[in-house]
Chains A and B, each alone.
Chain A
Amino acid sequence: MTAIRALHPLPAGTDPAAAAGLAGTLLGPVAALTPEMGLSPMLFAFGAAIIGGFGRFGGVVAGAVLLGLVEQFGGGYISTNWREVFPFAAMLLIIAFRPEGLFGGEARARL
């Protein structure tokens, strides 16, 4: 039997909120700031998490990097006008053929 402390020193929402705050700080210098700016980066982040597979931290990072690369290379080699379409098309195709993301499904702890 293993005892897991039910009361983490910080409530579970704090970490992600802090990470989101950091992401916002990093986004500030490269994008226009408006109160309504949140939705499209959020969708992008969701997409990255989904195609990486929620299961692994590394998968999420890989997903985010992959989406960024698809956007830039698509824009560079295929068509500049349709640059923004490529990451969404990639999301759609990855979910279609790997419905649980590239690197597997639910979050699991190795015991």
Chain B
Amino acid sequence: MLASDRRTGTAAPGGRRAAAAGGLPPVYGRRHYLTVAVVLAVIALAGAGNTGNMYQISVFNTALTASVATVGLYFAYQLGGMFAFSQAAFMGIGAYTSAILTPEHGFVFAAGVALIIAAVLAYLLAFLLRDAKHMYFAIGAMAFAEIAVLVFRNWEVTAGPTGGGMLYGIAPPSVAGYEFATSGQIFWFLLAVLGVVLLLSVLLERSPLRRHALAVKAIPQVSESNGIDPRRSAMTLFTYGSTLGALAGVLQAHSLGTIAPEAFEVGVAINLYLMLLLGGVGSMWGGVAGAFFLTWLPEFLRPVKEYETVVYSLLLLATIVLFPNGIVGGVAWLAEKVRHRRRGGRSSGVTTHA
């Protein structure tokens, strides 16, 4: 069984039992909605006490923004199978477009145009590289990312020649006349956006597109002979994931108020990958968990001062060794262990994923 199929794998037997007992037919992957509510509630509870503290809440805001980008990366990379090293570049495309258009057209319109531009560019990139596989696609995406950063740095429109691509004084997000001016207000705005993103993603997780993508990943020839176009599902998922990346860029630009080309380099995309891998590639929740873990880790390491970088790296290594399936994978494994012991040795076979 594929690692990413774990959740639906555990849900299926219960659903079948309910159907057999004469209840309503099971809703495929219904438990996702509960998880969305739980994740949002946990973040809200953790953040609510800190909305007055400018510094603490800005760390939350960074983590929320990164979550949106890593959830996108999950769809582009894990489901679509595309090495999306362009994720940070798409953040930049979203951030610059929205920052430039907001003064004249307002936040909502600017953000909308930013997402559309990013989606079109992502689809074009995926179309251009449709025959490139694995490392070839990775290099193509990296080349795209490098070009994007060079454009931010050199183009007149992004204040390239005069200001090195730095934009200042970007207005905070405002929706329907209400402006989210303080960091505390921005926190609730970002949480709401993450909620919408997670709900949309759950719809995608439950859609035939996901099943097609998994089939293409597992057995490309057989799924193709069954009428699934392997390119189409990959290109759609890459476009969706990259658009989420652009959304994260929009959120970042308007919550920080300033952007620079350095924030969208390939290294940043690799950092997003690290978040996804640490959190667990098995599901989109791994992206959220990894984003929060990696954003908060340096904050917890303040007491060790000059050894911060060393301890940070050691902790990353330890996490990778101890949780080969990421934090979410590790928690699922522990939960299964506990359940296993309580039931007295009856295994449900959930932990057998590679």
CB pair A95 B139 closer than 8 Å: yes
Residue interface bits A9-49, CB-to-B below 8 A is 1, else 0: 00000000000000000000000000000010001001100
Q: A81-B154, A91-B143 in contact; A99/B133 too (CB < 8 A)?
A: yes
Q: A43 CA to B146 CA in the complex, in Å?
A: 10
Answer whether A88 and B143 are a contact pair too, CB < 8 Å, given A81-B154, A96-B128. yes
Scan B229-264; emit 1 where CB is below 8 A from any A CB, else 0.
000000000000000000000000000000000000
A contact residues around B266 at 8 Å (CB): 39, 43
The smallest beta-carbon distance between A70 and chain B, in angstroms, is 12
Would you call B136 and A99 a contact (CB within 8 A)? Answer: yes
Q: A81-B154, A82-B154 are in contact. Are A92 and B147 (CB under 8 A)?
A: yes
Which of B140, B151, B154, B161 is within 8 Å of A95, CB to CB?
B140
Q: Does B267 touch A at the CB level, under 8 Å?
A: yes
Q: Are B143 and A99 in contact (CB under 8 A)?
A: no
B142: chain A residues at CB < 8 Å are: 43, 46-47
Given A43-B142, A82-B154, check contact A95 B147 (CB 8 Å). Answer: no
* Chain B minimum-CB-distance residue to A36: B267
Docked complex: B46-61 residues within 8 A CB-CB of A: none
Q: Which residues of A have CB within 8 Å of B151?
A: 85
Asked if B140 contacts A91 (CB within 8 A), the reply is yes
Alpha-carbon distance between A11 and B38 when the two chains are bound, in angstroms: 50
Instruction: Check B131 for interface membership: any CB of A closer than 8 A.
Output: yes
Closest to B138 in A: A46
Say yes or no for A59: interface residue by CB 8 A criterion. Answer: no
Complex CA gap A91/B161 in Å reads 25
Minimum CB–CB distance from B198 to chain A (whole Å) comes to 32
Name the B residues within 8 Å of A100 (CB-CB): 136
> In the complex the two chains form, is A92's CB within 8 Å of B140's CB?
yes
Question: Which residues of A from 55 to 111 have beta carbons under 8 Å from B?
Answer: 81-82, 84-85, 88-89, 91-92, 95-96, 99-101
B200 within 8 A of A: no
* Bound complex: CA A100 to CA B267 (Å): 25
Instruction: List residues of chain A with CB under 8 Å of any chain B CB.
Output: 39, 43, 46-47, 50, 81-82, 84-85, 88-89, 91-92, 95-96, 99-101
Known contacts A46-B139, A81-B154, A95-B136; 20 further A-B pairs (Cβ under 8 A)? A43-B139, A43-B266, A46-B135, A47-B139, A81-B161, A82-B150, A82-B154, A85-B150, A85-B151, A88-B146, A88-B147, A89-B143, A91-B140, A92-B147, A95-B129, A95-B139, A96-B132, A99-B129, A99-B131, A101-B136
